[in-house]
Amino acid sequence: NAGVTQTPKFRVLKTGQSMTLLCAQDMNHEYMYWYRQDPGMGLRLIHYSVGEGTTAKGEVPDGYNVSRLKKQNFLLGLESAAPSQTSVYFCASKRGTRQETQYFGPGTRLLVL
Amino acid sequence: AQSVAQPEDQVNVAEGNPLTVKCTYSVSGNPYLFWYVQYPNRGLQFLLKYITGDNLVKGSYGFEAEFNKSQTSFHLKKPSALVSDSALYFCAVRDSGTYKYIFGTGTRLKVLA
């Protein structure tokens, strides 16, 4: 049982390049989340999903897109990376409506030059 | 809008002494409150939550938190700090009527030997 995994662990992009971050969970959780962590700002919610085929915007969705085609996977896309998107990205999942505990992945460190 | 505030960027405490990490919240309706811990280069781990019931909530690793409705606070406590408790601690609240979670900016705890 791997829990929540994130791919890649680290990536360097040039401004304007695109990439996709993959989050996978093997716990059959319904809800999945993408956060970004920046110094002094804590965690901020980018997008989330309450089930397969659904997505919704969080606090800071601009410049990102997401997809949840399979229940176990939640993809975060950057179409045209900007230096302001340099951050550590965390994925999390939780079982369902009545379960409040989120399980976090190890993070992806992204540097945009 | 729901929010949490962690007024201290850093808390230093001597090993063996009690520790408190502060959190205040602002919500409409009943608060769903959480504490998470982040060790270096790791994802966040759930410590404890308050949904309803006793104002003193017990969690993992000997931590507890006290819910105070009149002061809108949810401070994290431990009777005797360990050096291994040194980490970044986040308070969080669930956004009422949604499944979005709002995190504080984090408090770095340093336990000195």
Q: What is the mean pLDDT of residues A65-86?
A: 97
The structure tokens listed for B2 are 């729901």
Give the three-class secondary structure for B74.
strand
DSSP string, A33-67: EEEEEETTTEEEEEEEESSTT--EE-S--TTEEEE
Q: Tell me what pLDDT residue B53 has.
A: 84
Chain segment B20-30, per-residue pLDDT in tens? 999 999 988 88
Rounded alpha-carbon distances, angstroms, from residue A95 to A46, A53, A98: 19, 16, 8
Quick one: what percent of chain B has pLDDT higher than 70?
Answer: 100
Q: How far is B49 from chain A (nearest CA, A)?
A: 8
Amino acid at B37: V
Determine, for residues B44 and A104 on separate chains, whether the beta-carbon distance falls below 8 Å: yes
Q: Tell me what pLDDT residue A54 has.
A: 95
Q: Which residues of B touch A34 (CB under 8 A)?
A: none
What totals of helices (H) and strands (E) does chain A contain, helices first? 0, 11
Determine, for residues A44 and B51 on separate chains, whether the beta-carbon distance falls below 8 Å: no
Q: Tell me what pLDDT residue A92 has.
A: 97
Rounded alpha-carbon distances, angstroms, from residue A10 to A7, A20, B41, B100: 8, 12, 12, 26
Q: What is the mean pLDDT of residues A72-88?
A: 97
The structure tokens listed for B50 are 């308050």
CA distance B13 to B21: 11
The structure tokens listed for A34 are 């993408």
Q: Tell me what pLDDT residue B108 has.
A: 96
Give the count of alpha carbons within 13 A of A55, CB side only: 18
CA distance B89 to B106: 5
Q: What is the mean pLDDT of residues B105-113?
A: 96
Partner-chain residue, chosen from A42, A48, A97, that has the shortest CB–CB distance to B100: A48
Amino acid at B21: V
* Contact assessment for residue A37 and residue A90, using Cβ atoms and an 8 Å cutoff: yes
Q: Tell me what pLDDT residue B60 has.
A: 92
Please name which of A56, A51, A36, A34 lies closest in space to residue A102, comparing C-alpha atoms: A34
pLDDT over 80 at B1, yes or no: no
Q: Tell me what pLDDT residue B14 has.
A: 98
Partner-chain residue, chosen from B32, B42, B90, that has the shortest CB–CB distance to A43: B90
Q: How far is B104 from chain A (nearest CA, A)?
A: 6
Determine, for residues A100 and B32 on separate chains, whether the beta-carbon distance falls below 8 Å: yes
Chain segment B40-95, per-residue pLDDT in tens? 888 999 999 999 888 999 999 999 999 999 999 999 999 999 999 999 999 999 98
Please name which of B7, B24, B19 lies closest in space to residue B109, comparing C-alpha atoms: B19
Instruction: Tell whether B32 lies on the interface with A, counting CB pairs under 8 A.
Output: yes
Q: What is the mean pLDDT of residues B32-44?
A: 93
Chain segment A17-47, per-residue pLDDT in tens? 999 999 999 999 999 999 999 988 899 999 9
Q: How confident is the model at residue B96 (pLDDT cuts 50, 70, 90)?
A: confident
CA distance A51 to A28: 10
Which residue of B lies nearest to A95 if distances are taken between CA atoms?
B99
Cβ neighbours around A74 below 10 Å, total:
30
pLDDT over 90 at A94, yes or no: yes
Which residues of A have a CB under 8 Å from any CB of B?
Answer: 4, 31, 33, 35, 40-45, 48, 50, 58-59, 90, 92, 97, 100-107
